Structure 1
């Protein structure tokens, strides 16, 4: 229901003065405000035409929102339509909405007329006066609607306070004379909290509570008390109950107070039941005898008992007793009422036309006997007389729990999961090789005669060896082959030594000499050795022999030529060829141009953002001075 009739979401309706202030201030804020007489006349006309059009559209938008949000009595459920007629007077409500619609059309017509006149304005003064006249007429129309706006705001506030009643769901409706215990019963079976007082007409409007029964959600409606007098004499409070009884599909719980503490006799309460009985048509009715703690059904007089029995017999009403004070029979009344309503809803569906469409889609298959042999149900012997497990019986079968206790308890006993395997041989139960391994049958990959075949192969090998099948004459190598083999061995040895030396050169943690030792001269090293009592001559000679010797050039021109040739030689070493890096991996000039075009396209996004490359994330100036300093002028906040 909340999705269909959510009256709490209706927008508040402003008063007549507030309505004008909202629209005119919006026009002032949303349209240009500066105009000069030296502007072109077309520009002046467009300026004032825009003002008039915007004001007319603002009025139209607000009035249309009011007309759309308020419910239309012809489009909503009859229960809500009649309830609004009872509470607000249907004619007055329609008249107020009609005046809003008329004002909307009048304002639209005024806007169109003055826009047409503004097209022929010949000066700034004439156009301004036409604009003032247009807005003045629109304001006059809205000032005349102040009473309708005030009335609609009162209706909106009252609609927001109405309970959310779903006219189509499972409903229990409680009715009867005032002060017979209707609200007390509702507080008992639902989560509602209805005010309960010891005087009549405590409940002045409809109250809704919810409960759960058989995993279904039910709503319970507490109605104001009804008095037994003609319909035209009933007030607004009573008419709410009459409206609910007339339009809601529900189970009616009619409460009767046998103790007559409510202020009305049993005869008057029965008379009220018969007067509103036409509203109970096609609804399950239950006669609830309340306050049985003060007066039981058996204690009433014979005349009053006959009145109650007539209701049960003639009107097919079920009579139940209960007491909200002692909670006696309250749950029984709730369950019985829910069951009766469920059965009534099922019967109504069975009588409708939709059931035929459902039954046409259902086909019940009945098996046909294939012969005349009777096949009675069979129950195995002992299935129903099987003795229960008795822990004290010494002859009972041993369980794993008993075996565990005998073997030393938990942590000592290890259950044998293979002892119940059903195999051809008992010896196979504890076989190490399983039957199935990773989804494959192990027997498919094992030959049962593997041992015999292996023995036969060994006998054949012995026979071939005895016959000399594997024997061969070793040919002596000649001198050329020996020389070739020795050369190959020497090459292999030299390669291994070269690899070891290369590894030693690349080791990063090799010991290095201190800088002081590197800066020492050969003569200083020789003197140091002599101070230690050693001969430094050999060390000095070896160092001088290993020093690089600079080749003398024949002339200065030769050295200059050599240096120029060295500078011109590429870094790849002697014999390398200089190539353009942009042509590497490209077959021809066409392919090179295509690759250059793709490269430029990939750089377009970065170029648009003035990036140096794909990894450029720098923000050059996070707070530009021209944007964050000085006085801000009127206008848009967006600097772009």
Structure 2
């Protein structure tokens, strides 16, 4: 039996109470304080956590309401009709649908605001409120961004119109081995606080909360669009923000309008501003005019004149101000109690002027003598890193027509050839001789009346001979180039592999006939040897006892002894070995034998011996041993 207990349904609060319940739970279960030392990433996570926690609470409460209230399609028809009579079924379904839509809307709004938090908080600059800071402020287009680009590694956009800088930009610089933070603020206009827009309020917030040295930048030329009177009025309106801060008035664009050529009224106005700046920064100086002079500085960001002076003055004033603040604090007494300055007591009244020890003076004199005398290669070696580092110049003693030629780079190899092979000291004389010989030949040809003949005047036989000569010349040229390219180191092709059949008996006979010799006996001998190779019997009856010297097929072993080829001596230079002559080759062979003599005597391993790098490779001599096994696997 199914029982429905509708009294267990949670009471649905009103809209206002529902919001109070969710926000109260968010306040109790999430962090509530953002400290000033938090990094920007931690602040971003703080607010994102609150948004996500609120969304999850809304989702949980609305889901509980939707699950507690029954669906009309799932309950008994009696209860469905009863609810329709009492509450109207359509209104009931419409209310549950609106709750479901509200849950989805809350989730979507949560995602949108988390995305906005990431975008907006990521735009916040990483400013350290406790670091040494220089804060630049003033009217728009007076040169604030140009100044920060000059003294830091920042890259702020600079344009010739107002409000180019729309947010806070941070750069860093160094002064007295300390890191300094420089902040560029957007331009501020002279109107009431409630009329200032968001961009101007960024500068106001920085002036209010940051303990920094303030640089109020002014444009003397008026190129920014505002006069000196208007800029002075802005200084007066925001002067309360400069209280207890080192303040400097930086007059920019002196390249367009020097301070000396200003009208008397504008000059008097600047002096008054400088005095007020000195009073505002609360510097303790005896001379009021000197105090005002130190607060009023000129510069030009275009020519860099006075830029570093303004930066150094602002940093020095901030350091002095921080020291004064620390001296006035209560912690100074605790620090002074732990400090002790030791002052040496006077031992006697004897004067002890500064002096140089004798050992140091002797080394100094030696150094001066080395510097005055002529430097040797040893001195140059010691001065340029010592042995192994210094490399002596081999060309500084060359005797050339011009000393500037000594350091010219001469290539060793060009187009695949050694340059030294083509160097001839008498090349100019040889060139003159060739030119003289050519002139003599031309003169002799003109005297004899020799005229070159045209091919059209030649007959058929002469043309055929000319073609044969040209073909032979081409073949000889190709053969010469082949031998030159391979250094005449061509392999000899055996006859059995000679596919072109160049070395035949007929060719041999024709060659012997052209030499005026009878080739009959040589051809018969060649044929008889070819027959003997095929297994036929040799016919020796035709050979008489007094036969020709070409016949060597006599039965006697003494007559059948073959002539041995003569061996080429080792000292002879072969093509391609790289030796100039036989003497150079013999000398190289002696040096090579002498180099291996001691190694062979000691029976040491040479370059021709077999080398085994690893006698016991790991993959052959390592492994696991199984049960009962003592050898390797």
TM-score (norm 2): 0.43
TM-score (norm 1): 0.42
Larger relative contact order (CA 8 Å, sep ≥ 6): 1
